[in-house]
Amino acid sequence: MSIDFVVHDADDSVGVAVVEGIEAGQDLTGWVMHQDKTITFKVLNPIPIGHKLAIRDLEEGDAVIKYGVDIGRVVKPINKGEHLHVHNVKTKRW
């Protein structure tokens, strides 16, 4: 089984793409590292390697959790399988 994205902990809300060429509509498999399990779902947007994707639905105002750490705030709803980037997530630093 090939892994398309990694998630550090089951409590995280995002995974990180680890392969190139992810296209909308693909079924992706991710590895949840701390629990050593896999999850699979359909991606909704192209995802560049190294970019984040939602592993659950997120509402405006939700915290984005990666590595078990709050890394940002959702500024518009994000569906499971969507790309997270500057268009839908903002830092809480400023």
Which tens digit of pLDDT belongs to each residue from 3-36?
999 999 999 999 999 999 999 999 999 999 999 9
Domain count, the chain: 1
Domain ranges, residue 80 = 5-90
Residue 88 has pLDDT above 80, yes or no: yes
pLDDT at 79: 98
Query: Beta strand 5-7 with 27-32: parallel, antiparallel or unpaired?
Result: parallel
Q: How confident is the model at residue 69 (pLDDT cuts 50, 70, 90)?
A: very high
pLDDT at 18: 98
Query: Residue 41 belongs to a domain with what CATH number?
Result: 2.30.130.110
This prediction has a pTM of 0.93
Contacts of 84 (CB under 8 A, 6+ apart): 14, 51, 52, 53, 54, 64, 78
